[in-house]
A and B are shown apart, each in its own frame.
Chain A
Amino acid sequence: MATFVTGADIGDAWLQAFSTMGGSDKGVVNLSVEIQNPLIEDLGVRGAIERHLSALRSAENRVQSIHTVANTIFPIAQYRPGKGAADRYFANVIEGAAVRRGASAGWGTYAERLVAYPSWDGKTTNQLGKILERLRGVRHWHDIYEAPIETADDADSTATAILHSDVRMDSRRRGGPCLAHLSFTLADGKLSLVALYRHHTYIDRAYGNFVGLGRLMNFLATEAALEVGNLLVVTGHANAGLSGAATLLTSASAEQGTTSPIELTARPLGVGWQDLELPRAARVA
């Protein structure tokens, strides 16, 4: 049976979706999560998740911060609004990808696939650029803003992994890209988004992905002079993904209630993001 939840903000939606899993790792099938305002988050829920991630982090379990996960969809420090901001963002993402070589490059990031989607002929397509071009040119409802993430090669990744058996292929077989498709809709001057995931782990990935998708929506809306609508995240199989789901569900529920706008652009020059990296477990109360 499919499940649908709706939340006022990122934290509320995450918590309601996570609650459907009942504090276990069994997960749910065909989960649809609506985030009514994807530019607002809940700092209490986020804090509970990050403390949980920090406690789980070890040499063997290299979990990432919510900030790092969000950056895989929209690397926020690369976007500084102003003249030429969109083109500069596209160029920065592509340029940055050039220094991730060999196994560390993996299948890339969602951000890279959105601005340099690989084609069979070796060329790339700037999907975000094309979507933005359409959004700027068409001011009424339209449903032509599609952005696939997976390539035909990804569909064969399991078989290919057996043939190559290297870190890159192993990681693809185990995980990404889990985000398969983005579908934008423009209606009444608001840009809404449906994101399709084939698999979504909620403790370590979902909240960060929601933040990244919200930032992506804001980027397109800002650059096309539109407002941000709602976000619907549809997942084929959603589960906790890491241990301690019941504990996290209890703490996140108790701490929900402090809402705040998410950061949407680069910080002032010279100001970093270390404060959003995972706190060390020793500091967790």
Chain B
Amino acid sequence: MLSQLEVREALVEVLSRIEGYDSAVIEAAIVSRGGDDQYELDSKVAESVIAGLEVLLGVHLPGPADLNRRQFATIGALIRLVLPVAMAA
């Protein structure tokens, strides 16, 4: 069972690989945007993040086709999407 902190760390790790930056750069960008709920994710980037999290966390997540756009529009929204699945794993 994974905690919210662990899920968030995993998400930032995957996102940093996708964007080609260190995690510290991503974290700084999150702060500058105003937090997890203000850091917006493009839908295509969100697809890659979900796929990366499935591998990293060993869980099966819903794909964007099964979701409302708001459910993967920000880092905060994606954490709320992944957390119940990760906690149940």
Contacts and interface: CB of A to CB of B under 8 A. Distances in A.
B48 A269 contact: no
Contacts of A164: none
A98 B66 CA distance: 14
Given A78-B44, A270-B39, A270-B40, A85 B51 contact: no
Q: Choose among B25, B38, B51, B61 the residue with the greatest number of A CB atoms under 10 Å from its CB.
A: B51
Interface string B22-43: 0001100110110000111111
Given A270-B30, A271-B40, A96 B20 contact: no
A205 to B, nearest CB: 18
Nearest to B28: A269
Nearest to B36: A270
A267 B44 CA distance: 13
A99 B20 contact: no
Given A77-B45, A96-B47, A270 B38 contact: yes
Contact of A272 (B18, B41, B64): B41
A273 B19 CA distance: 16
Interface of A is mostly: loop
A interface residue count range (under 10 / 10 to 19 / 20 to 34 / 35 or more): 20 to 34
Nearest to A268: B29
A92 interface: yes
A272 B42 CA distance: 5
B14 to A, nearest CB: 9
A272 B40 contact: yes
Contact of A100 (B18, B25, B63): B63
A137 interface: no
A78 B48 contact: yes
A222 to B, nearest CB: 15
Interface of A: 71, 75, 77-78, 80, 82-85, 88, 92, 95-101, 104, 266-274
Given A92-B48, A270-B29, 11 more contacts: A77-B45, A85-B20, A88-B20, A96-B45, A96-B51, A98-B51, A99-B61, A266-B45, A269-B25, A269-B26, A270-B30
8 interchain residue pairs of minimum CB distance: A272-B40, A104-B65, A77-B42, A96-B47, A269-B29, A270-B33, A75-B44, A270-B39
